Each structure stands twice: as structure tokens, then as C-alpha cells.
Copies of this chain bind each other. A is one copy, B any other.
Amino acid sequence: MEKVLIFGHKNPDTDSICSAIAYAALKRELGMNAEAVRLGEVNGETQYALDYFRMDAPRLVKRVTDETKTVILVDHNERQQSVDDIAEAKILEVIDHHRIANFETADPLYYRAEPVGCTATILKKLFKEHNIPIKKEIAGLLVSAIISDSLLFKSPTCTEEDVQAARELAEIAGIDLESYGMAMLKAGANVGGKSAEELISLDAKEFHMGGYHVEIAQVNTVDPNEVLAKKAELEKAIESVIKRKGLDLFLFVITDILNSDSIGIALGKEQKAAGEAFAAEVENNTLFMKGVVSRKKQVVPVLTNAFEKRKKS
């Protein structure tokens, strides 16, 4: 039987690595010659989970069709997020929790997408549907993926199903959700060695809102003070970006993943809009963003709304 390679998206996160490992294990139990592989480097958070449960990282691949024609995708479906030679492969299955786009097959396939917070939550169901017990280390990797994607259940993308699955998996894995989860997230939120320029550009996106030009960058940390200690350097770096791009507002969101709040550093001539958007006072260029962890769901829509209003008044 031809080998089937199972992998998540490029720039893999914990869900992409752990779901590939877990689904390959399930498929082997069901008799498939399946192997998990990865499309990029393992990040610090994922490495923590692998080390804790004494599992090896999947093999790194750049192409797949030199060794097999048949693949299974987890945690993604869009072609540009997948392996470079995906167009030449036969996609046997997809297990995912994202929108569907840039995806097409020639033949019928098994496609299982659910609007939950994590692929691992769907995989837990699949083990149950096939009556295959989940081994301790696999349960550990699956719960790690849910903790990662949901920021320990604090992200607005997290559903009741994710929480319930994580509880059951933590029981099998023999971990305390809170203490293990915090340690794992902390391992991935190491901002210590990064310069101010790196911090404000690692995950930055530009937006046009009601005629205003806005950039929003985000960094996750378990200790906002570690980032704020570089406030003067960060402001200098931000001012430089504002000048270069002619921005009306730059909002740097420092997300405290343990308390599920964020602190924003807002600069630019429309600084006040940030305060209005989050009903917070802007003091020394900073504002407190209570309960905010998701740029996509909690920052972009609120700021867009504030700028649309400014435009009218």
C-alpha cells in the first residue's frame, strides 16, 4: 500500500504539528501506511509539548510527490498555505476548521471541516467515531493544540466543544490544564531576545478604515512588563514606521495571554481614535484593552467602527 503523508500548513503552529501526528497515529491503527510530516520549523511552544510528551517532531519536507502521490491535509486547505507541489498530489482527505478557498479536487474525497476553535477537537471525535482509544501521549499533543489555538480557552474562536474536548484529553494525558497550559504558552511567548523593530513587525498588518491608514501589530507574552520595559525604543521604532508609511495610527497590541487582556501602544495623529474605540484613556501613549486577545475578532472591527464614525462627524 502506498504511503500517505499527513501534514498541516506552512509556518506550522502547534495544531498543525500535533494534529498531523495524531491523525497519522489514528490512520495507522486503521491500517493505513500513514506518516506525519511538517512544512516548516517547529516553534518554541510546539517543542515544549513534544518534549513534555517525549515525542519526536515529524520529518521536515519541501515536496511530497517525489515519495508519494497521496496526501491528507490537516488544519488548512488553501493551496498557498500547503506544500509547494500540492497541485501534483492526490488529496485523499482534509480535516480542518478554516474557511474553504483555493481548493479543488478531481475526485470525491473525505472532507471534514467544523467551525470549532481547533483541528484537534475534530480529531478527538474521529478517534471516538472509529472506537480507537487515544493513547496518553497523543491525548497530550491534542490538548496542547487546543490550548494553543484557544489561548487557554480565552480566544473568541474557542467553542464549548473545544473546552469539553480539552478537559477529556487532559484527563487522559494526566496533566493539569491550567499549569501545563501556562507553561506551554509561556514557552512560545518568549519575547526576551527580540529587538523593538522585530517586536512591532513580527505580526503586523495594514488596514484602510473609513479613509484612514492604520497599522496594527500584535505580540503575545506572559509578561507585558517585559515588553513595556522597551517602551521608549518601541515608540521610536513605531514613529519611524508611521513617518515612512504616512500612517494615521499605529496600534501595537501587547497581549497578556495569561490574563487575556491587552495593552496597546497607540501613536499617530489619530491616536485618540484608539481610546474612543476601546472606551479607554490614552495615557503616555498606552491604553488598557480589557478582554481583548484577538486582532481579527476584537480589534479590527472595533477600530473600523470608530474610524467610520469619525469620518461622518
Residues of A within 8 A of B (CB): 97-115, 129
Contact of A107 among B99, B105, B109 (CB under 8 A): B99
In the complex, which residues of chain B have a beta carbon less than 8 angstroms from the beta carbon of A129? 129
- Chain B residue at minimum C-beta to C-beta distance from A98: B108
In the complex, which residues of chain B have a beta carbon less than 8 angstroms from the beta carbon of A102? 104
Quick check: A109 and B115 within 8 Å, CB to CB?
yes
In the complex, which residues of chain B have a beta carbon less than 8 angstroms from the beta carbon of A106? 99
- Chain B residue at minimum C-beta to C-beta distance from A113: B111
Known: A100-B103, A129-B129. 18 other contacts (CB 8 A): A99-B104, A99-B105, A99-B106, A99-B107, A99-B108, A100-B100, A100-B104, A100-B111, A101-B104, A101-B105, A103-B104, A108-B113, A108-B115, A110-B113, A110-B114, A110-B115, A112-B112, A112-B113
A107→B105 CA distance, assembly (Å)? 20
- Chain B residue at minimum C-beta to C-beta distance from A106: B99
A129→B128 CA distance, assembly (Å)? 11
A107→B99 CA distance, assembly (Å)? 5
